């Protein structure tokens, strides 16, 4: 265990440059749920629209959620969904001109978008005991990171 004090990394001397990160993740859903998403018949409304808003909010709130994460001026958030036969893939790209990267923001955005989708469709995914035997979130990772290249 480290005896050093916990502290933010000092980025004061670093140059401001373009930073970009794209994260990806997946939620496994039943075919019935996928069909209802496609048909626009989810009881709470369109889960992808709500998840897009949640993703953007999560990106902006990342330093409030991760204790030693810097507050970064976000210049753009781009959220994309791919509906697959067995679930939904979420991609979040975050851009900034700053002194440190935006990987945590992209990962947080994807994570919250996936949890939001689950929340909106959970009534379809539960079994008779109220459990989620086939629903899961996985493969959340940074797909790409760029620094200094526009």
Q: Which of 68, 142, 83, 135 is nearest to 108 (CA)?
A: 142
What is the rounded average pLDDT of the residues 75-95?
A: 98
pTM: 0.94
* Residue in 15, 64, 119, 139 annotated catalytic: 119
Average pLDDT value for residue range 105-130: 98
CATH label of the domain that carries residue 76: 3.30.70.640
Tell me whether residue 4 is in a domain. no
* 118 located within any domain: yes
For residues 52 and 38, give the distance between their C-alpha atoms in angstroms, rounded to a whole number. 16
On whether residue 48 sits in a domain, the answer given is: yes
- The percent of residues in the chain predicted with pLDDT above 70, rounded, is 97
State which residues form the domain around 55.
17-147
Query: Is 86 a known active-site residue?
Result: no
Q: pLDDT per residue over 20-49, tens digit each?
A: 999 999 999 999 999 999 999 999 999 999
User: Considering its fold, how many domains does the chain have in total?
Assistant: 1
Helices (H) and strands (E) in the chain, counts: 3, 4
**Position 3 confidence tier, pLDDT thresholds 50, 70, 90:** confident
- Residue 113 located in a structural domain: yes
Establish if 2 belongs to a structural domain. Answer: no
pLDDT given for residue 150 in this prediction: 62
Is residue 12 assigned to a domain?
Answer: no
């Amino acid at each position: 265990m480290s005896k050093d004090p916990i502290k933010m990394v000092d980025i004061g001397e670093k140059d401001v440059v373009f930073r970009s990160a794209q994260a990806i993740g997946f939620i496994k859903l039943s075919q019935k749920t996928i069909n209802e998403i496609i048909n626009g018949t989810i009881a709470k409304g369109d889960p992808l629209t709500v998840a897009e808003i949640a993703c953007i909010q999560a990106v902006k709130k990342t330093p409030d959620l991760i204790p030693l994460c810097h507050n970064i001026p976000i210049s753009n958030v781009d959220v994309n969904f791919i509906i697959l036969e067995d679930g939904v893939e979420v991609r979040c790209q975050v851009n900034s001109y700053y002194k440190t990267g935006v990987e945590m923001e992209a990962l947080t955005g994807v994570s919250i978008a996936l949890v939001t989708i689950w929340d909106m469709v959970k009534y379809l995914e539960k079994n008779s005991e109220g459990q989620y035997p086939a629903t899961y979130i996985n493969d959340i990772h940074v797909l790409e990171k760029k620094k200094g290249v526009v």
